Amino acid sequence: MASRDDDKQSIPELIYDVGTNVTYRKGRFFGKGGFAKCYEITDTKTGNVYAGKIVSKRLMTKHNQKDKLTQEIAIHRSLNHKNVVGFHGFFEDSQNVYIVLELCRRRSMMELHKRRKALTETEVRYYVRQILLGVVYLHQHRIIHRDLKLGNLFLNDNLEVKIGDFGLAAKIEFDGERKRTLCGTPNYIAPEILNKQGHSFEVDIWSIGCILYTLLIGRPPFETNSLKETYSRIKKCEYKIPTSSQISNSAIKIIRATLQPDPKCRPKVEDLLNSEFLTSGYIPSQLPVSCLTVAPRADKLEKA
Ligand SMILES: CC[C@@H]1C(=O)N(C)c2cncnc2N1C1CCCC1
C-alpha cells in the first residue's frame, strides 16, 4: 500500500554517498519509522535495490537522540546473519543521516498478522524457528534486541524472516550485567522493565512469548484499550489462553514457559529451538506467498 509522502523537508531524487562514491536513486516511499523517512533506493551503478532509512538531522535536536542513532548503527553494522536485516552502509550530509538496509519486499509480520490474524501451527513453527535462529545469533553476540515485535520482523520475497530495527538494542558488556534503563517504549515490554528491576536477555524471551501468543491466538496477550491497563496486566502477568482456541498442548506449554513473570524461570532461546512445539510438528522449508493472504491447505505444504 503506497504511503503518502508529505515531503516537507525535501530529500533529493539522487542521493550521493561521497565515502563510497555510490549514487542512489530515491524510489517508492515506504513510510515513516520513528524520525526516519523510509524509501526504496537503487544503486545507480549496480542496480541493487535497498531500503533507505533517512533521518533528518533537523528533527534530532537533543543529544540523546543523536547518541541513540549512533548506538543503533554501531550495533546493527556489526551483525551478519540470514535472519537479521542486512546492514549495507550508512553516510550523512548536512541535512540527513542515511542508513542503507536490506530490502524486504513483503514488509513485516505486522501486515501479515493484520491480514490473517491467527495462523496455522505449521506456519507459526516456520516463522518462529527463523526468529529464534536470529535471536540465538544476537544473544551469542551479547546483543539484546529489547523491541522484538511483529513490526520489526521483516519478510523478503521468499517469506524469510529478518529481524530489524535495533533502535532499542543494547550490548551486554560483562557476564551478569543487568541493564537499568531503556529509553523508548517497547511494544511487548517485559514486567521486569516496568518494575525497574534490571533486565537482560530474558526480555527478548518474553517478547517471543508475546509474538507466539499473537500468531497462534490472533491477538496480543495483554491488549487493552489503555496503555496503563495493559502495563498493569503485564506486571501481574494477567493473560488467558482462550479455551475456544484450538491450540495444541505443546503450543500452550511454550507460551506458559516464555510468559513467566520471573525472568530467571524463562527458557533460554536455545531451549526454545529444542522445545516440543518446534520439534513435535512438521516445519516446511518454505511457504507459498499465498500464505500472506489465506491459510495454506495442510496437504499442500511440500513435505520436508
Ligand atoms: C527501512 C525501515 C524499515 C526496515 O528497517 N527495513 C529493514 C525495511 C526493509 N524493507 C522495507 N521496509 C523496511 N522498513 C519499513 C519502512 C517503513 C516502516 C518500516
- pLDDT tens string 187-205: 999 999 999 999 999 999 9
Query: 301: Cβ below 6 Å to ligand 1?
Result: no
* Residue 147 pLDDT: 97
Q: What three-state secondary structure class fits 31?
A: strand
Residue nearest to atom 11 of ligand 1 (CA): 104
Cα–Cα dist 271/92, whole Å: 41
Residue 164: pLDDT above 60? yes
Q: Which of 4-8, 54-58, 136-140, 224-228 has the highest mean pLDDT?
A: 136-140
Distance of CA 65 to CAs 41, 59, 163, 280, Å?
A: 24, 9, 22, 45
Quick one: DSSP state of residue 117? Answer: S
Q: Which atom of ligand 1 is nearest to the CA of 36?
A: 2
- Grid look-up 529451538 returns 273
Query: Once rounded to an integer, what is the mean pLDDT over residues 164-181?
Result: 96
* Residue 304 pLDDT: 47
The better pLDDT of the pair 183, 275 is held by: 275
How far away, in angstroms, is 107 Cα from ligand 1 center?
7
How far away, in angstroms, is 151 Cα from ligand 1 center?
9
* C-alpha cell of residue 105: 519486499
* Half-sphere exposure for 285 (CA within 13 Å, toward CB): 3
Cα–Cα dist 161/124, whole Å: 12
Percent share of the chain, pLDDT over 70 = 96
Catalytic residues: 147
How far away, in angstroms, is 198 Cα from ligand 1 center?
30
Query: 150: Cβ below 6 Å to ligand 1?
Result: no
Quick one: DSSP state of residue 93? Answer: -
How far away, in angstroms, is 154 Cα from ligand 1 center?
7
The full DSSP string for 181-248 is ---S--TT--HHHHTT--B-THHHHHHHHHHHHHHHHSS-TT--SSHHHHHHHHHTT-----TTS---
pLDDT tens readout for residues 201-222: 999 999 999 999 999 999 999 9
pLDDT averaged over every residue in the chain: 94
**pLDDT confidence band for 299 (50 / 70 / 90):** confident
Cα–Cα dist 189/163, whole Å: 17
Cβ neighbors of 110 (< 8 A, separation 6 or more) are: 149, 150, 151, 153
Q: What three-state secondary structure class fits 169?
A: coil
**Is residue 140 within a helix (H) or strand (E), and if so which, with residue range?**
helix 121-140
* Residue 102 pLDDT: 98
**pLDDT confidence band for 282 (50 / 70 / 90):** very high
Query: Once rounded to an integer, what is the mean pLDDT over residues 34-44?
Result: 94
Spell out the alpha helix ranges (H) of 4-99.
63-76
Q: Which of 70, 60, 62 is nearest to 36 (CA)?
A: 60
Residue 25: pLDDT above 60? yes
Residue nearest to atom 17 of ligand 1 (CA): 31
Query: 30: Cβ below 6 Å to ligand 1?
Result: yes
Query: Once rounded to an integer, what is the mean pLDDT over residues 138-154?
Result: 98
Q: Which of 23, 88, 22, 14 is nearest to 53 (CA)?
A: 88
* Residue 185 pLDDT: 87
Query: 33: Cβ below 6 Å to ligand 1?
Result: yes
- Other residues' Cβ atoms within 10 Å of the Cβ of residue 235: 14
Query: Once rounded to an integer, what is the mean pLDDT over residues 135-143?
Result: 98
Query: 38: Cβ below 6 Å to ligand 1?
Result: yes
Query: 54: Cβ below 6 Å to ligand 1?
Result: no
What is the total residue count of the chain?
304
Q: Which atom of ligand 1 is nearest to the CA of 99?
A: 1
Q: What three-state secondary structure class fits 264?
A: helix
Query: 76: Cβ below 6 Å to ligand 1?
Result: no
ipTM above 0.95, yes or no: yes
Cα–Cα dist 51/116, whole Å: 25
